[in-house]
């Protein structure tokens, strides 16, 4: 940041300095030319033609430098066929005249005709009264004084702009260091958090950095929640596996005659518990993936075909928006719909109806059956792991628990209601729209 600021300041100051130098140098040159213009005008005003046809002044130029040899200020009046009338300061030298060049207006230019002495020359061609010749009036002055003024100007500009550049770059550096100071505070806070001294960024921060600090604290809170969820479900899995293992160990120790059946039954229970927690772990791992998206209708069709093979006597109908999609991985969506439709086919009376309806930024999937339904008092308890209302049919009571956990992981909900059309249970699954 400091390097870019220094480069930009240098470019701007160099550009501005060059432009200002050009403007001021032109102004000094114009002022220099105005002085010669005044002298040349006075010469023309006092010039007249003498009896012999030559030019003479009715009053001599007032500047004494015209009388001092090599003084640096000269004049000369020339015309074809006439002898040049030169100032005494020219001594044995003469100004070059271009006879083919006619300047009806004042014309100034630089000349190097005198070795070691650069000149600024101003000339004008006029016809004096009483003469038919074109007289060229010339005033020349050494450029040394003009060049000295321009050099002094440029030296002052360079020193001033260099000092200004250093001041601006120093200010940009101070501003950058001061502006990035809050980030150093954030780094120190993170070091303290890594050292276990604190769990959040608590140092007061400027308004410009505060949103980043808030997001950082939110991320830390999110990670803590995920870690706590992982610990909780690891404990739940350990507890769920502990009871079947105890039953198997007791049966083996007692050399129970039905040991084989006991091992198969308890192993099946453990496998269902492991499947439940693995499904939840997969959903947690996929949660928040920006590319998570699944179309509901193809998933419903795949589940309908699978459940139809398991329960051929059940009729499964579907209706609703065939273009709806949700922000859920396809595998997890199949898990959700599979558990709900399988439960409806297993515990219903033979008819299952699935409806897909967009609702604001959510998609509602209604699964209805014509079974006995679930009493309102049991609709919350049935989501607990292992809870079953009908023990006469095979199962472990983990299906609705999986549905609830996975739906909540993706920001959705699942509720149980009574079906007005079929009279049985209606499950309302709401998931974020894709």
In a shared domain, residues 276 and 298: no
Chain segment 10-39, per-residue pLDDT in tens: 999 999 999 999 999 999 999 999 999 999
> Considering 122, 150, 178, which residue would you say is the last residue of a domain?
150
In a shared domain, residues 251 and 301: no
The dihedral built from the CA positions of residue 185, 186, 189 and 194, taken in this order, carries a sign that is negative
**Which residue from 380, 367, 311 is spatially nearest to 336, judged by alpha carbons?**
367
Does residue 226 form part of some domain? yes
The domain total for the chain is 3
Q: Which residue has the higher pLDDT, 229 or 418?
A: 418
In a shared domain, residues 320 and 241: no
In a shared domain, residues 312 and 422: yes
Does residue 190 form part of some domain? no
Q: Is residue 190 over pLDDT 80?
A: yes
CATH for 382 = 3.30.565.10
Tell me how far apart the alpha carbons of residues 194 and 198 are, in angstroms, rounded to a whole number. Answer: 8
Does residue 170 form part of some domain? no
Pairing of strands 73-78, 135-142: antiparallel
In a shared domain, residues 282 and 410: no
Domain that holds residue 138: 2-150
The dihedral built from the CA positions of residue 32, 35, 36 and 37, taken in this order, carries a sign that is positive
CATH for 100 = 3.30.450
Over residues 95-105, mean pLDDT: 82
Does residue 169 form part of some domain? no
Does residue 201 form part of some domain? no
In a shared domain, residues 280 and 218: yes
pLDDT of residue 394: 43
In a shared domain, residues 267 and 316: no
> Considering 106, 125, 150, which residue would you say is the last residue of a domain?
150
In a shared domain, residues 228 and 352: no
Q: What is the dihedral of CA 416, 422, 424, 430, to 10 degrees?
A: -10
In a shared domain, residues 392 and 261: no
In a shared domain, residues 123 and 233: no
In a shared domain, residues 140 and 232: no
In a shared domain, residues 272 and 251: yes
C-alpha distances out from residue 182 to 2, 179, 185, 214, Å? 17, 7, 5, 14
Rounded to 5 degrees, φ, ψ at 131 are -140, 145
* Structure tokens, 154: 């440029």
What pTM was estimated for this model as a whole?
0.50
Does residue 46 form part of some domain? yes
| List of residues 6+ apart from 170 with CB closer than 8 A | none
> Considering 98, 126, 150, which residue would you say is the last residue of a domain?
150
Does residue 155 form part of some domain? no
pLDDT of residue 8: 94
Chain segment 43-70, per-residue pLDDT in tens: 998 988 888 888 888 888 888 999 999 9
Does residue 205 form part of some domain? no
* Structure tokens, 9: 């300041």
Chain segment 191-215, per-residue pLDDT in tens: 888 888 888 888 888 888 888 888 8
């Amino acid at each position: 940041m400091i390097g870019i600021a220094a480069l930009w300041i240098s470019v701007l100051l160099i550009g501005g300095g060059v432009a200002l130098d050009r403007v001021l140098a032109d102004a000094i040159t114009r002022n220099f030319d105005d002085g010669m213009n005044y002298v040349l005008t006075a010469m023309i005003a006092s010039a007249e033609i003498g009896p012999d046809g030559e030019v003479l002044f009715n009053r001599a130029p007032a500047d004494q430098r015209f009388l001092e040899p090599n003084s640096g200020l000269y004049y000369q009046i020339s015309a074809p066929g006439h002898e040049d009338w030169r100032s005494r300061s020219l001594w044995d030298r003469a100004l070059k005249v271009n006879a083919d060049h006619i300047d009806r207006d004042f014309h100034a230019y630089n000349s190097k005709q005198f070795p070691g002495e650069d000149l600024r020359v101003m000339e004008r061609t006029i016809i004096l009264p009483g003469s038919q010749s074109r007289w060229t009036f010339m005033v020349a002055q050494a450029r040394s004084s003009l060049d000295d003024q321009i050099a002094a100007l440029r030296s002052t500009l360079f020193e001033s702009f260099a000092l200004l550049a250093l001041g601006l770059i120093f200010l940009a550096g101070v501003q950058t260091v001061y502006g990035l100071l809050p980030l150093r505070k954030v780094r120190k806070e993170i070091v303290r958090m890594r050292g276990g001294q604190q769990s959040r960024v608590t140092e007061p921060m400027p308004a410009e950095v505060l949103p980043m600090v808030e997001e950082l604290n939110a991320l830390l809170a999110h990670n803590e929640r995920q870690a706590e969820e992982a610990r909780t479900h690891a404990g739940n899995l350990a507890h769920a596996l502990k009871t079947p293992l105890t039953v198997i160990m007791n049966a083996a120790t007692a050399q129970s005659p039905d040991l084989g059946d006991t091992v198969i039954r308890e192993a099946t229970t453990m496998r269902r518990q492991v499947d439940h927690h693995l499904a939840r772990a997969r959903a947690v791992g996929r949660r928040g993936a920006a590319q998570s998206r699944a179309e509901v209708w193809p998933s419903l069709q795949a589940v309908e075909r699978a459940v139809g093979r398991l329960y051929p006597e059940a009729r499964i109908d579907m209706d609703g928006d065939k273009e709806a999609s949700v922000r859920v991985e396809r595998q997890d969506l199949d898990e959700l719909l599979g558990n709900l439709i399988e439960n409806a086919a297993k515990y219903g009376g033979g008819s299952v109806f699935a409806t897909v309806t967009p609702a604001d930024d959510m998609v509602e999937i209604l699964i209805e059956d014509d079974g006995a339904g679930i009493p309102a008092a049991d609709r919350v308890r049935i989501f607990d792991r292992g809870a079953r209302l009908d023990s006469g049919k095979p199962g472990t009571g983990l299906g609705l628990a999986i549905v609830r956990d996975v739906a909540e992981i993706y920001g959705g909900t699942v509720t149980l209601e009574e079906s007005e059309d079929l009279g049985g249970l209606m499950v309302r699954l709401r998931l974020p729209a894709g």
